[in-house]
Amino acid sequence: MFKVALKTDLEELKELTRRYPEESKRARISRITEALNLLEAAVKKETPYGAGPIHLRDTIFDKISAFGERVSGILGTPAVYGEPVEAGTKAHFPPVGPLQFWVEKKLGYSGPEAASVAFLIARAISRRGTKGAKMFEKGFNKNEARVKAILDRIPSDIVRSIA
């Protein structure tokens, strides 16, 4: 699993939050939402496009949580194959059925030929595993400076809201 926690100088934000808790919460929710929207678009762009009918990139979502003074956001996918696509896998023999569907849709084979190609792919995976797409990692790394810049504007948003 790819996990990120950004640390910045929080002293100014702590003081503003103590003095103006509601304004702080609104500003943090707004800026974290902005950052997550940016990252969601970037991660989806990096996500491999499968054979469907449900594509991994269509399952990627963000969520904001606010409990008391704490505000946090997550970006992820509920798809069970999301983590193996992100990180890759060790050698294992995967089920041939989903691979056959992929072979038919992506490579254009059909019937027994598709089954044979799917088996060969499964055998290769059983020997080498799969390489991770690193879509969350790439999406974040390409946008880290922008995310930090967005979040660094939280204190000025609070000050502007009380002015």
Of 46, 32, 37, the C-alpha closest to 2 is 46
Same domain membership, residue 144 and residue 73: yes
6 located within any domain:
no
Same domain membership, residue 145 and residue 75: yes
pLDDT at 90: 97
- Which residue range is the domain that position 99 belongs to? 91-128
Please tell me the total count of domains within the chain: 2
Backbone angles phi, psi at 145, to 5 degrees: -65, -40
**Tokens 């948003």 found at:** 157
**Is the four-CA dihedral 41, 1, 68, 15 of positive or negative sign?**
negative
Same domain membership, residue 69 and residue 15: yes
User: 156 is written with which tokens?
Assistant: 């000025």
145 located within any domain:
yes
Q: Per residue of the chain (163 residues), what is the pLDDT tens digit?
A: 666 666 666 788 889 999 999 999 999 999 999 999 999 999 999 999 887 778 999 999 999 999 988 999 999 999 999 999 999 999 999 999 999 999 999 999 999 999 999 999 999 999 999 999 999 999 999 999 999 999 999 999 999 999 8
Of 141, 3, 18, 23, the C-alpha closest to 74 is 3
Tell me how far apart the terminal alpha carbons of the chain are, to the nearest angstrom.
42
pLDDT at 8: 61
**Cis upstream peptide for 95 (omega within 30°):** no
pLDDT at 49: 87
Q: What is the pTM of this model?
A: 0.87
Same domain membership, residue 62 and residue 17: yes
44 located within any domain:
yes
pLDDT at 50: 82
26 located within any domain:
yes
Same domain membership, residue 15 and residue 63: yes
Strands (E), the chain: 61-67, 70-76, 88-89, 130-131
